[in-house]
């Protein structure tokens, strides 16, 4: 429920913004005619400043996804992306809605992907929509592509060094588990994972929805059907789909 509540405002904005565009909602004339506001927007729209704002937004977004709860990384991301898209107001008497709509829809699809087992169409669509929203925010598309590429490269470097420095995250633990190819640390071939169907275990990490659970005395890579399960709760394997072990909270299994 935490993830759903965290982004409900963004989802609502994605629904309301197309309507605002349809009625051509104007930016307040007093704001546009304010010299200080115009100067601030011009500074923010500079390609170098735009890259810095994108780096803030992407770093905050990635770290917020990797860490539990709504914290300072979410604020950093909202600040970076908020100022970035605010700069698109400069030089226009009306808010250009399309890039922001695409960006918000991209976030919504990424959220859906995080809450549904597997990596599929929502995740790919979310990444493409988010990228399109950022690039189309620039008047020059070539500048937009270069700026986004630079921001993503710097973001990757920053996140890499934070992880190397010992950053802790349940999702990172989940990724490390997948990359470890030994039975002792939880890797089992897809065919032999069928033995876990119907078994009970203990969540070794928070499942948001992916994480680790101890099944048959072995730590295993598991994923829920979207529900959040806390560390230490009892889980039951409801089915195995290929390499994925899908679990539910044991209490809910008994009720159903």
pLDDT digits (tens, 9 = 90+) for 46-91: 778 889 999 998 988 888 777 766 678 888 888 888 888 877 655 5
Residue 1 has pLDDT above 50, yes or no: no
pLDDT band at 235; cut points 50, 70, 90: very high
Determine contact, residues 29/81, Cβ cutoff 8 Å.
no
**How is the chain split into domains, by residue range?**
2-167, 173-255
Asked whether the predicted pLDDT for residue 202 surpasses 90, the reply is yes
What's this model's pTM, rounded to 2 decimal places?
Answer: 0.56
Q: What is the pLDDT of residue 167?
A: 65
* Rg for the chain, CA atoms, rounded: 22
> In 3D, which of 248, 168, 241 has the Cα closest to residue 207?
248
Average pLDDT on 249-254 reads 72
Q: Which of 120, 78, 121 shows the shortest CA–CA distance to 103?
A: 78
> Which is more confidently placed, 100 or 172?
100
Which helix (H) or strand (E) segment holds residue 235: the answer is strand 234-241
- Token pair of 37, please? 């506001």
Q: Which single residue is written with the structure tokens 């809910």?
A: 252
- Alpha carbons 67 and 50: distance in angstroms, whole number: 26
**How does residue 15 score in pLDDT terms, banded at 50, 70 and 90?**
very low
Specify the pLDDT at position 72.
Answer: 82
Find the range with the poorest average confidence among 40-54, 99-113, 231-245.
40-54
The set of long-range contacts for 79-85, using a CB threshold of 8 Å and a minimum separation of 24, is 80/53, 80/54, 80/55, 80/56, 81/53, 81/54, 81/56, 81/57, 83/44, 83/53, 84/44, 84/50, 84/53, 84/54, 84/57, 84/134, 84/137, 85/137
The pLDDT of residue 247 is 92
Between residues 47 and 255, the one the model is more confident about: 47
Instruction: Output the pLDDT for position 237.
Output: 92
Residue carrying the six token digits 């790919």 = 124
pLDDT for 184 equals: 45
β-strand partners of 215: 201, 218
- Given pLDDT bands bounded at 50, 70 and 90, which one contains residue 115? confident
CATH architecture of 173-255: Beta Barrel (2.40)
Provide φ and ψ at 231, rounded to 5°: -60, 135
Give the CA count within 13 Å in the CB-facing half-sphere of 81: 24
């Amino acid at each position: 429920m935490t993830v759903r509540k965290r982004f409900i405002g963004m989802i609502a904005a994605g629904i309301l913004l197309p309507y605002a565009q349809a009625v051509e909602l104007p930016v307040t004339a007093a704001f546009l005619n304010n010299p200080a506001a115009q100067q601030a927007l011009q500074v923010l729209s500079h390609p170098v400043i735009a890259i810095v704002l994108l780096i803030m937004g992407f770093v905050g977004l990635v770290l917020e996804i990797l860490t539990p709860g709504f914290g300072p990384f979410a604020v950093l991301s909202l600040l970076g992306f908020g100022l970035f898209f605010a700069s698109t107001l400069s030089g226009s008497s009306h808010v250009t809605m399309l890039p922001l709509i695409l960006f918000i829809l991209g976030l919504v699809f990424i959220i859906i992907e995080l809450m549904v087992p597997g990596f599929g169409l929502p995740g790919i669509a979310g990444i493409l929509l988010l990228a399109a929203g950022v690039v189309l925010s620039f008047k020059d598309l070539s500048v937009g592509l270069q700026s986004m590429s630079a921001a993503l490269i710097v973001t990757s470097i920053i996140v890499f060094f934070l992880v190397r420095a010992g950053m802790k995250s349940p999702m990172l633990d989940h990724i490390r588990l997948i990359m470890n190819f030994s039975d002792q640390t939880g890797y089992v071939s897809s065919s032999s994972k069928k033995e876990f169907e119907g078994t009970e275990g203990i969540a070794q990490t928070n499942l948001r929805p992916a994480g680790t659970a101890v099944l048959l005395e072995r730590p295993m890579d598991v994923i829920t059907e979207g529900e959040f399960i806390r560390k230490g709760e009892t889980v039951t394997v409801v089915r195995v789909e290929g390499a994925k072990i899908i679990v539910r909270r044991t209490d809910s299994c008994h009720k159903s």
